[in-house]
Amino acid sequence: MFRSWRRLRGSRKKSQHALLGEPPDRGYTSLFSGSFTQLLHPPSGQIPFLDGLRTIAILLVVNHHFSARFAEVHGDNFYSRLPFVINGWSGVDLFFVLSGFFIGGQLWKELLKDGTISIRRFILRRGLRIWPLFFFIYLCVFVLYWPDAATKQYGWSDLVFLTNYFNHGIVGGGWSLCTEEQFYIVTPLLLCLFARKKLHAIRPWLWGLLALIPAMRMAIWGHHTGHFFYHDPALFATMYYKFHTHCDGLIIGLIISNLWVSYNKPRSPLWKSSLILFGGFALLVILRELQHEIFIFTGLAFFFGSLVWFGLASRINFFQSRPFYWISRLSFGMYLNHGYLVNPVLKRFLPHVHFLPPSSIAAQLLGTVILTGLSAAIAIVTFCLVEHPFLGLRMRLLEPHVMK
């Protein structure tokens, strides 16, 4: 009987690993091989165009942060002044649009299928995706940068996801993760109010909410400056970090996913999608010129939203190459770790590259490439050791029927 039980237990383990796309359990070998399977092979239904956009987003952010630090040390150069380098911070807004689309898609499908949303299930699902690596990075920074952590009151605002309102975080880029966490809490609660409505009936409310955000920024701007066209970098920085003044991209993502689910993945001719993309870009330019600080987030939301719709509706075959999926899968880890690698690359590695002048554009580009590669390599390790085990736990907790 005992042998039969062991054989049965072993067969169950094998079937579970097969369903997860993993080989049978062999300790650390299984851990890495199973996680590499997820990294190397996209799941069915993956949209390569969106993987490409996520890759662009993380490369914009990494390049922007390294170039800004390089300019502080060596001064500006031609490359540092290029628009996509100066405005590389906008990669975060592209992340917001993509997050709004993906999260919205899950919620709209559940609302359409069940007529309600399980908030507990949704929070747990998102939490097991975000929290493990976020808090792992927090612990690493807390230990390795202890004096700095003490000056930031030990990063308490990271622990409660309020760094975008209270500047006491120690996780690099943590403010945007806090914005997304707040979005994960607020959105299902709001959608539960519309549980009995059709998806198309909710859309006008989303458009109204999108219009409310720049109106709120306008009111804040007028109150503090007394003039619509007055420029105040400090006030702009304050509005940049807060959820209620910088969530345009998340709302646009919700609207796009609402359309995508409502019309069952509609397809449109390339010329129509291109026209929408051109309109989104034109709107970005107009809003930016009208008043940069008040309308730039809305303009970026419309442009990146039109770019997402362009890829979805036209079914265009951009970003089919597998490396786009790999970087896309690693982008979360890269976003969290790259900020801590900028100074080591800039101050400890590049000075030993004697064949390039230290302040040259070539040295800057080489540093960016090295930073990107090093960040991706570390993200692979943290994906295998931290993210992947919790993704398996998420499946066991939330999809037990798949495990049987």
d(CA 382, CA 168): 25
Q: Which pLDDT value is given to residue 15?
A: 39
Under 8 Å between Cβ of 385 and 31: yes
Q: Quick one: how far is CA 132 from the chain centroid?
A: 15
Give the Cα separation of 184 and 195 in Å (integer).
17
Could you list the pLDDT tens digit for every one of the 404 residues in the chain?
434 434 434 444 443 443 334 444 444 455 555 777 778 888 888 899 999 999 999 999 999 999 999 999 999 999 999 999 999 999 999 999 999 999 999 999 999 888 888 998 999 999 999 999 999 999 999 999 888 787 788 899 999 999 999 989 999 999 999 999 999 999 999 988 887 788 999 999 999 999 999 999 999 999 999 888 888 999 999 999 999 999 999 999 999 999 999 998 888 899 999 999 999 999 999 999 999 999 999 999 999 999 999 999 988 888 888 899 999 999 999 999 999 999 999 999 999 998 999 899 999 999 999 999 999 999 999 999 999 999 988 888 887 544 44
Residue-level pLDDT at 397: 87
How far apart CA 122 and CA 184 sit, in angstroms, is 8
User: What is the C-alpha separation between 7 and 352, in angstroms, rounded?
Assistant: 58
Write the DSSP string, 276-327.
HHHHHHHHHHHHHHH-HHHHHHHHHHHHHHHHHHHHHHH----S-SHHHHHH
Spatial CA neighbour of 265 closest among 19, 25, 38, 49: 49
Provide the pLDDT for residue 243. 97
With CA atoms as reference, report the closest residue to 80 among 94, 56, 63: 63
pLDDT at residue 33, as a whole number: 57
The pLDDT of residue 400 is 59
Structural contact between residues 312 and 49, judged by C-beta atoms closer than 8 angstroms? yes
User: Cα(373)–Cα(323) distance, rounded to whole angstroms?
Assistant: 13
Buried b (16+ CB within 10 A) or exposed e, 348-376: eebeeeeeeeeeeeebbbbbbebbbebbb
